[in-house]
Amino acid sequence: MAQIEKYRKEIAAESVTNKDELEAFRIKYLGTKGLLKTIMSEMRTVAPDKKKEAGQLLNEFKLFVESQFEILQEGLSGSKPENNDIAQIDVTLPGTALPLGSRHPISIVQNKIISIFHRLGFAVAEGPEIEDDWHNFTALNLPENHPARDMQDTFYINQNPDWLLRTHTSSVQIREMEKGVLPLRIICPGRVYRNETISARAHCFFNQVEGLYIAENVSFADLKQTLYFFVQEMFGSDFKVRFRPSYFPFTEPSAEMDISCLICGGEGCNVCKKTGWVEILGCGMVHPTVLENCKIDSNKYTGFAFGMGIERITMLSYQVKDLRLFSENDLRFLKQFTSAI
């Protein structure tokens, strides 16, 4: 007991002027080989009947040493800081830069497509990704058991009544036509779904922009001129364009539009499958049945429609060879579009 009282006096008399001295104090009294540990190890030699009293004494001593350490520590930080501390804060240094994100390439191209058609007077229309059978298939002249439905197998959320993930944004065109406000000039961007095997050229979801123009006396010439304007604004003028006859249930006549391959200049490469041509969109005159399904007089009104996959346009614009890159969220890929707007 007398010994501990002596230590108390010794410790109370200690003072420190810097961090090194504080650390020396800590090691001397509180360290793993310090005074406190040494005294504690001597507890073993105390007679059993004195153990309780000695333990209490030791505990108080421990608290005393710890509080002394804290007092010295506070005294040090409360006094004038050392030169080292000042050197750590240099207010003239530039701040930590926050990393800026960039637009996704699909968004970049989608915005560009929207702005091109915007200049021709097309307004953006949007609709739900979960659709009923009528808006996705039947109203578009794709009745139940129509063989063309096979090409657009999708994911069903419910059957009888059918609720499904839309296979195209044509469903938005139906919804807009049903409103009965004519003339109608819209583009419908959005995500669509198909039950397809995922590969470098196909995915179970992708993005589309579809367009629709309905008024009196709209002709196939209007369609061609609109699309000529689009491809020139999108890709420049250093390529050829062709229309190929095609089939879609919702348009008649129907066509697919190709441009000469931008990668090989029409010579033939892997991207164009050695043909020199790349398909970029499908189009045609809106089928009279579709107009009538939406209660539009097909004798008075005509219209054209077109649709394209944004992934396809983006791959051509930026020479991306694998469609899966768009949805893998790989920063090494996405960072390459930082400067694009």
| Site residues for Zn ion per CB under 5 A | 261, 263-264, 269, 271-272
Least distance (Å) between residue 315 CB and Zn ion: 12
The CA distance from 249 to 171, in Å, is 14
Rounded CA gap, 62 and 60, in Å?
Answer: 5
Query: What Å distances lie between residue 88 and 82, 227, 297, CA to CA?
Result: 11, 63, 78
Q: Which is nearer to Zn ion, 177 or 259 (CB)?
A: 259
State the nearest-atom distance from the C-beta of 264 to Zn ion, in Å: 3
CB contact burial 205-239 (16+ within 10 A = b; e otherwise): ebbbbbbbbbeeebeeebbbebbeebbebbbeeeb
- C-beta of 187: minimal distance to Zn ion in Å? 28
Closest of 57, 60, 28, 29 to residue 43, by C-alpha:
57
Instruction: Choose between 229 and 239: whose C-beta lies nearer to Zn ion.
Output: 239
> Please, which residue, 125 or 261, has the CB nearer to Zn ion?
261
Nearest distance from C-beta of residue 232 to Zn ion, angstroms: 19
Nearer to Zn ion, 57 or 263 (CB): 263
Q: How far apart are CA 54 and CA 60, in angstroms?
A: 10
Give the contacts of 291 (CB within 8 A, at least 6 positions apart).
177, 214, 297, 298, 301, 303
Indicate the residue among 72 and 269 with the shorter CB distance to Zn ion. 269
The two structure tokens encoding residue 210:
């579809």
CB of 106 vs Zn ion, minimal distance in Å: 22
